Each structure stands twice: as C-alpha cells, then as structure tokens.
Amino acid sequence: MPLATPYYLIDESALEANLAKIDQLRAASGAKCLLALKCFATWSTFEQISPHMDGTTSSSLYELKLGREKFAGETHAYSVAWSDGEIDEAIANADKIIFNSVGQLERFAGKAANLPIGLRVNPGISHSHFDLADPARPFSRLGEWNLERIEAVMDRVSGFMLHCNCENDSLEAFSAMLDQFETRLGSLLERLEWVSLGGGIHFTKPGYPIDGLAARLKAFAERFGVQVYLEPGDTVVTDTTTLEVSVLDVVENGKAVAIVDSAVEAHMLDLLIYRQSAAVAPGAGPHRYMIAGKSCLAGDVFGEFDFPQALNIGSRISLLNAGGYTMVKKNWFNGVNMPSIAIRRKNGEVELVRAFDYADYVSSLS
C-alpha cells in the first residue's frame, strides 16, 4: 500500500551518485568536505553520507550538537553570533570554532584556547544570483572585511572561512574568484593552517568538470600550505529528494488550479523566499495546471506545469529537488500536516522513517 501523502522521499541511489562525485573530488584535490547542516540535517541518511565526508559544519549550537551526536568526523562550530549562554557548550562539542567577527573572537577566544580558532573573512566579492543570499551585499554582517582588524588577531587564528558562493555551477567563475582571494588576502593566507571555502559550489551538477575543480583547489592549497575545506549542502542532496503530494480539488478561475495536500510556505519555503517555481514529474503534456497548496496564503502556489493526463482528485504529483533547504525549514503554518519522511532504499523499497501528527503540532507550541 502506498504511503499517505504528503511526504518527502529521499532516494538512496540518487544520493549515492552525488556521494561518488564527492569522493572523486576529495581524492583528486586533497580537500576535505563537511556537510552543511543548515541545508540538510535529516539524520536518518547520515549512515549513508558520513563515510563519504569528513564531518559537519554548523550555523548554531543545535546543528553543532547534531553533527557531534549523529555524524562521524570533525565538527566545525560557526555562528553569526555566539551568546554567553551557549559558548561553553559550543566549545565542548567543537573540533574547530569559527568566529564571525573580531569582536566575537576577542570576547570568547580565551575560553576556546584549546581549539583551532577560525575567523570568517568577507573579501567583498561573491557569486550569488540572489541579493538575499549574497554575503558581500552592502552593509553585510557576514565576516570581517577590514584587513587591519584581521591583521591584529592573526596570532590567535589558524584558519579562515571564506564563504562567498551561492549556487555557483561555473568552474571559471569560481576560479576567477579564487584568483581575487589570492591577490587580496595572499599575505594572510600563507600564515594559516586551513581555509574553508564554504559551500554553494554545485560540482555534482551533471557535466561539471570535477577534475578541473580538484586541480584548482589543490593548486590553492599547495600555494599557501593550507588544508582546504569545502562545506557542501545542497550539492550533496540535489536531485535526490521529492515532495510527494496528492490533488485534493481542482478549481477553475481563468486557469485550472489543482490544490494539493501541501503548502509552499510550510513545506518548500525557499520557493517563496526566492520567488521560484518548483519542478514536477510528470512534467510534460497537453494539460496545464497551476499547482497550489492548501494554506490560506493567497500566494501559496508551487507553479504552473503541463501534465500528460488530466488531474483529478487523488492524482499523485512529485515536486522535485525537495532536499536542500526544505526539511530544515518546514513549519506548522496553518496547522497543515507536516510531511512524513521516507527513504527509497537501493533495492527499491520505500521505508517510512518519520511521521508527524497532531501531538507534534501541539508540542511545537505552548
């Protein structure tokens, strides 16, 4: 009997293909790869993912602890701002701690003296298609940019985080950015032990020249004598996961609108944030529908798509690429039922690994 919708469906075989590319890059470049938990933290998959990566990187105390408890390898602790109430626990769970500013470093570095300490540096350049996700946008709070302030703490810093990419699928663009890093920061980089180049490099995209990326990363590491880290998130899970939904109603108001048992704001929030449409399967044919969610938000729309057959009540639809920045952002808006989480194992069997119910909704509030 098929699972009741809605549910996120993670495909182990598709994930294995991405992990093979990560293995290829690690072996050829010498770079280490850390799973970015801000993007994907569904820990029921960690048994499959962790042998192909070197650890995790976090954006908060809770992500840090999840990486320590559920994932093998290193834990890198980063936060835009650590609080007094969490810094001790962060240090206790970290293998490296990265401060976002000189102010935070000066405040907490004494407590973290037993750890390698990193500083996030903002070189003022980036690759992002979205201003919302551009770390080099005007007045950015993400990382130190003043070279004099950075120089003043170099005796306490062993590494930099240079996280400047968002959905960068061009080796040429990445290499040109690295050229600028080398020019602007070279005298500082050569004094470090490690450099994290962050995430946002889509090297698992079909046709991406992984060997070229590996060569560029290796050259960078050898020039400055540093261990390079990457922090892939969406790159790990791209094209591995769908959100499975069913049609509840079809209405006509100038267009045919199919209402499904899900909600964009609750289950694929990034589509609203970045004003994008989903992709669907099946996704071609003579029957065109607007696919909309069941929440009361007027703009709860996944997009407009063509289908080979007319949609009816009960028709199943797969919303594609629903792994990165979905399950980590899902919420209880409108009390819409939270999608279950299932995994399609390599043998084709679909296993339900987590379901949510009214008790979970109630426990999320007070």
Domains defined for the chain, CATH in brackets: 14-237 (3.20.20.10), 241-322+330-363 (2.40.37.10)
**What percent of the chain is modeled with pLDDT above 70?**
100
Which are the contacts of 91, defined by CB distance < 8 A and separation ≥ 6? 77, 97, 111, 112, 114, 115
pTM above 0.85, yes or no: yes
Q: Dump pLDDT digits (tens) for 340-365.
A: 999 999 999 999 999 999 999 999 99
Tell me what pLDDT residue 2 has: 86
Tell me what pLDDT residue 230 has: 98
Residue 135: pLDDT band (50, 70, 90) is confident
Tell me what pLDDT residue 362 has: 97
Question: Is the model's pLDDT at 295 over the cut of 90?
Answer: yes
7-11 vs 241-252, strand pairing mode: antiparallel
Question: Is the model's pLDDT at 37 over the cut of 90?
Answer: yes
Distance separating alpha carbons of residues 324 and 330, to the nearest angstrom:
11
Tokens, residue 153: 């703490």
What type of residue is 225? G
